[in-house]
Amino acid sequence: MNRLPVYELIRDSNIYRNTSPGSSVILPLVGDKCTIVIYDVQVSENYNCKFSVWFSEKAVVVGTPEEDTSSVVLELGSADCIIDRGLEMLVSKMRVGDIQEFCLGDGQGGTITGCVRLLAVQKCVALRSWHTDDQMKLIEAARQKEAGNILFRQKRYMDAFHRFNLSIRSVLFLRDEKAEGVREKRDILYSTVCNNMAACQLKLHNYEHARVLATKVLTVDPSNLKAFLRRSQAFVELKMFDNAFVDARYVLDHCPANTLAKRYLDKAARGIEDQKANYKVMVKRMFH
């Protein structure tokens, strides 16, 4: 199974602390707007992260540690590519005035090095009440889901998976699941997003992860045809043909015209026959 990297931090060993009395000891949190300066940037020849906001191939945001005029504003939690998530992770460990050296990877062998200085942090007041407000959690989860859908349509499956994961995390721990409509909304959103995450894993050829995610959907919604279909595909790729056949058969029993289910049923049936034939050959070799 391939683990999807949220970010690739190759080096972050040196932090130069600002010891002035005015420096804040409170670290930035998700939602906070951080004013930063990026400088001394070096890009490797094989670097490839065209979706980066701060380090795209066309434009690299570069300043000097002394010049506030070259600063940019980074909102923690808004990154949609591996490089930018790495930068966010670095900034989240810094206090105002700190300077951080970094070496970030693009997930494909390319690297970008440099320094970042945190000039200021504007705290996100709305997120303080978010942790105690179930409705706000549901709204945030829906927002992250839609962001993931956009990335999925752009075929950015790893970045879409990251957004879907943030959506799920928003609703894992609701304070009052018994409140009117809260549990129902949570379950609908949970099953939808887990299905989407399974679709991402299938696109990325992580079939065991896809199987697990589809099964999670079925624990909440036992008749979810999309989950059965995606799990059937995962079972086929994992050569678990008996299971794939059962799931595909379930989909066709409820939706006879589903062409994908027919395809997986056929693949599963052929796989079962091949396994039986191989078993017979193996037995003959053992006893003859």
Q: Is there a single domain that holds both residue 31 and residue 109?
A: yes
Give me the tens of pLDDT residue by residue for the chain, a chain 288 residues long: 555 555 566 555 555 655 444 444 578 988 899 999 998 888 888 888 888 888 875 545 555 555 555 788 999 999 999 999 999 999 999 999 899 989 888 888 888 888 999 999 998 866 555 566 788 888 989 999 999 999 999 999 999 999 999 999 988 877 666 666 778 888 999 999 999 999 999 999 999 999 999 999 999 999 999 999 999 999 999 999 999 999 999 999 999 999 999 999 999 999 999 887 766 667 667 766
> Which structural domain, as residue segments, surrounds residue 224?
128-283
Structural domains in the chain (count): 2
Domain end point (choices 109, 124, 139) = 124
pLDDT computed for residue 49 by the predictor: 80
pLDDT computed for residue 209 by the predictor: 97
Whether residue 226 lies inside any domain: the answer is yes
Tell me the three-class secondary structure of the chain, residue by residue: CCCCCCCCEEECCCEECCCCCCCCCCCCCCCCEEEEEEEEEEECCCCCCCCCCCECCCCECCCCCCCHHHCEEEECCCCCCHHHHHHHHHHCCCCCCCEEEEEEECCCCCEEEEEEEEEEEECCCHHHHHCCCHHHHHHHHHHHHHHHHHHHHCCCHHHHHHHHHHHHHHHCCCCCCCCCCHHHHHHHHHHHHHHHHHHHHHHCCCHHHHHHHHHHHHHHCCCCHHHHHHHHHHHHHCCCHHHHHHHHHHHHHHCCCCHHHHHHHHHHHHHHHHHHHHHHHHHHHHHC
pLDDT computed for residue 56 by the predictor: 72
Per-residue model confidence as pLDDT tens digits over 151-198: 999 999 999 999 999 999 988 877 666 666 778 888 999 999 999 999
**Can you give the CATH number for the domain in which 132 is found?**
1.25.40.10
**Can you give the CATH number for the domain in which 49 is found?**
3.10.50.40
Whether residue 63 lies inside any domain: the answer is yes
pLDDT computed for residue 21 by the predictor: 44
